[in-house]
Amino acid sequence: MTTLFSKITLGLAGALLVASPAMAQAPEWTKQVTRMFASKQTYPSTAQMRGEEGTAKVKVFIGADGSVEKAELVAGTGSASLDKEALSVPSKVGRVPAPPAGATTLTVPMTWKLA
């Protein structure tokens, strides 16, 4: 079996918190949730073969109980398969720890880069 690439970099380049001021005091929660999303992010094989790279920004709506209620693409990558993957990540996670200040949203950048 031949490897088509030597290294793939996947990443959530730090979540941008878009919430109440109380949430600004919960950086550990934000880091934990960001890591949960990163653990479910994959590089679609079609995007790999086409050499597609980019960063998508996904706004994730999180209920007071930690349920992931919905996700919206705020900024696309220019690749349909990467954008589709970006929107699927929150549903793969499904539930996160309850936000410290109740229901909130996170805007999460997701990056795909072939190295």
Q: Cα–Cα distance between 64 and 98 in angstroms, integer?
A: 6
> pTM value?
0.78
Does residue 87 lie within any of the structural domains?
yes
Average pLDDT estimate for 3-13: 44
Q: How many domains does the chain have?
A: 1
Q: What is the pLDDT of residues 19-50, one digit of tens each?
A: 444 555 488 999 999 999 999 999 999 999 99
Phi-psi region of 97 (alpha: psi -120 to 50; beta: other; left: phi over 0): beta
Q: What is the pLDDT of residues 67-102, one digit of tens each?
A: 999 999 999 999 999 999 999 999 999 999 999 999
Angle between helices 27-40 and 80-93 (to 10 degrees): 120
Does residue 2 lie within any of the structural domains?
no
Does residue 1 lie within any of the structural domains?
no
Domain that holds residue 42: 8-114
In angstroms, what CA-CA distances link 20 with 4, 9, 70, 104? 44, 32, 19, 8
CATH of the domain at 46: 3.30.2420
